[in-house]
Amino acid sequence: MRLAVKLASAAAAALLAASCSTAPPPPRPREDHTVTVPPNAGVYKVGQPYQIDNVWYYPREQPDYDETGIASWYGPTFYGRPTANGETYDGNQLTAAHKTLPMPVNVRVTNLDNGKSLVVRVNDRGPYARGRIIDLSKRAAELLDVVQTGTARVRVTYLARADLNGAPPPPETPPLIANALPAAPSGKVDTVALGVVPGATVAAPTRTASLPAPAPIPAQMFADRQPTGQVTRVPVPPETRLYVQLGAFSKLDNAKVLLGKVGGDLRISTLQRGGQTLYRVRSAPLASVQDADAALARITGAGANDAHIVVDQ
């Protein structure tokens, strides 16, 4: 009897050993294929002069920036790509691209066709289509009703430096950034058109005084300087017109010199500002963005490299 029990135990042990030798290995833990996106690592920068499509641009501090022109918007092609100051572009955020403003800064963009106004964060460079002053993210364009039309007549007004990586903006420009470009002359300066350099053009510098504001922005509009997504209504003229403007001068003779060099269907118009008369060299009123684009192409082709589209009454 004991022998039978021993034999049965030996057989059971043999079967257990056999089953253990053929059992499948335990499953391997699943690999984690998720991608961890690093947080924005943006920096405050003004930037060095740069060239795009044979046109030079000169970034600089512009706390008094207030310009009218044509806005466009950019979409999914750029999603997830780094912006010019090291942040990550997200079309659902209230951001924008500008050719020469520091980054990041907050600006107010007002649609002059419907009075809708929104604060956005400038953190990228562009647009490089001539005749456009700002490129909006898709979300910003949606809130301002720009998506359907593709472009809009807008006013862009500098508000303040934007927060940086969740921290307050730097209180002042670091010396290395401030000294990257020569300081602007502090005295009163008239501008004249330079001769065209073969094979090169220069983007028009911003001349705040040459761009009449279509309507004053109420003081309370500057209280909210962060892109909260709140769309407000700003008084705008019932009708605006597009012009191609070549320059503005405090002396009539300088305006006449530019007019004589370029010729064509241009005229000199005056603007009273701060007790001063400005003489603007510009086209006749243009009915549409397409007409303005065509006029800008003709005028820059004639050698007026500083020409740009403005919105005025």
SS (H, E, C) the chain: CHHHHHHHHHHHHHHHHHHHHHCCCCCCCCCCCCCCCCCCCCCCECCCCEEECCEEECCCCCCCCEEEEEEEECCHHHCCCECCCCCECCCCCCEEECCCCCECEEEEEEECCCCEEEEEEEEECCCCCCCEEEEECHHHHHHCCCCCCCCEEEEEEEEEECCECCECCCCCCCHHHHCCCCCCCCCCCCCCCCCCCCCCEECCCCCHHHCCCCCCCCHHHHCCCCCCCCCEECCCCCCCEEEEEEEEECCHHHHHHHHHHHCCCEEEEEEEECCEEEEEEEECCECCHHHHHHHHHHHHHCCCCCCEEEEEC
Position 284 scores a pLDDT of: 94
Residue located via tokens 């930037």: 47
Relative to beta strand 232-233, strand 266-273 is unpaired
Position 76 scores a pLDDT of: 79
Position 195 scores a pLDDT of: 37
- From CA 112, how far away is CA 239, in angstroms rounded? 9
- From CA 144, how far away is CA 135, in angstroms rounded? 12
Q: List, in order, residues 6 or more apart from 305 with CB less than 8 Å away.
A: 193, 196, 201, 202, 203, 204
**Which residues sit opposite 110 in a β-bridge?**
117, 155
Q: Give the residues of the chain that fall short of pLDDT 50.
A: 3, 5, 7, 32-38, 177-214
> Per-residue pLDDT tens for 227-266?
888 999 988 888 899 999 999 999 999 999 999 888 888 9
Amino acid identity, position 122: V
Position 220 scores a pLDDT of: 52
Comparing CA positions, the residue from 225, 69, 83, 60 lying closest to residue 156 is: 69
Position 36 scores a pLDDT of: 44
Position 39 scores a pLDDT of: 53
- From CA 74, how far away is CA 83, in angstroms rounded? 13
Q: What is the pTM of this model?
A: 0.72
245: number of Cβ within 10 Å: 25
Amino acid identity, position 193: A
